[in-house]
A = this chain, B = another copy of it.
Amino acid sequence: MKKDQRPSYDHVPMVVIKRLPKYYRYLGELVEKKLERISSQKLAQMMDISASQLRQDLNHFGEFGQQGYGYRVEDLYQEIGKIIGLEYQYNMVIVGAGNLGRALANYSNFCLRGFCLWALFDIDPELVGLNVNGIGIKDISELHDFVADNNISIGIITVPKEAAQGVADRLVAAGVKGIWNFAPVDIKVPDSIILENEHLADSLMVLSFRLRGKMG
């Protein structure tokens, strides 16, 4: 699909968008099991949602499946991948080569899906020059040129909280289009930059809220 033919999904609520990766993940497992088709009831049941929610969610993006036949698993998997934007290659760098940065660098299956990691950056001279999962750790001073020269579209921030805004500013100045921030702080970026925050402590607090009725 060329860019100019690409449908706009501006009307689709973010809660629906956030369920797409789960649909994609479940369908991927069914593709691996070589299942050819599945009913909306069965797919919904696997995912612990209602069949009507599944159908409503998919209706935002077009017509999938046929009454009485269900969905062709492989087709729906491919379509959802396209909706998510997985036909593009996203070139990425990680800034911060501590345990979290290295954990993400080891998540090698990211690249299979088109998210390719090309370098890690750090300020620690003891880390610079090492490599993780075959990917080199470079000095932070090389960040700007590397991002600009290698068509890097996503910067991943895994530095301490205090350093995060400075790193975000450098990534933006160097030309990334999106930032995935793991530092436990809300960084500010220009409106043109897509920002996803991953506040791990927030999830732990949601777990706490849900657990507190069970604590003695």
- Chain A contacts to B: CB under 8 angstroms: 3, 6, 8-9, 15, 17-18, 20-22, 24-26, 47, 83-86, 88, 90, 98-100, 102-104, 106-107, 109-110, 113-115, 153-154, 177-178, 180, 184, 186, 194, 196, 198-216
Residues of B within 8 A of A153 (CB): 211, 214-215
Task: With CB as the reference atom, state the residue of chain B lying closest to A24.
Answer: B205
Complex: A27 Cα to B180 Cα, angstroms: 23
B201 touches A18 (CB 8 A): no
Q: List 30 A-B contacts (CB under 8 A).
A: A3-B216, A9-B209, A17-B206, A17-B210, A20-B205, A21-B199, A24-B205, A25-B184, A25-B202, A47-B186, A84-B209, A85-B208, A85-B209, A85-B212, A90-B208, A90-B215, A99-B99, A99-B103, A99-B106, A103-B103, A107-B200, A110-B204, A177-B214, A177-B215, A178-B210, A178-B211, A180-B203, A180-B204, A198-B200, A198-B203
Residues of B within 8 A of A115 (CB): 204, 208
Complex: A214 Cα to B178 Cα, angstroms: 10
With contact pairs A203-B198, A204-B180 given, residues A215 and B102 touching in the complex (Cβ less than 8 Å)? no
A207 touches B180 (CB 8 A): yes
Complex: A20 Cα to B214 Cα, angstroms: 19
Neighbour of A103 across the interface among B17, B98, B114, B180, CB < 8 A? B98
Complex: A89 Cα to B7 Cα, angstroms: 49
Complex: A9 Cα to B177 Cα, angstroms: 40
B196 touches A206 (CB 8 A): yes
Task: With CB as the reference atom, state the residue of chain B lying closest to A214.
Answer: B177
State the majority secondary structure of interface residues on A.
Answer: helix
Task: With CB as the reference atom, state the residue of chain B lying closest to A158.
Answer: B103
Complex: A102 Cα to B103 Cα, angstroms: 9
Which of A180, A205, A212 has its CB near the most chain B CB atoms (within 10 A)? A205
Residues of B within 8 A of A186 (CB): 22, 25-26, 47
With contact pairs A99-B106, A102-B99 given, residues A196 and B200 touching in the complex (Cβ less than 8 Å)? no
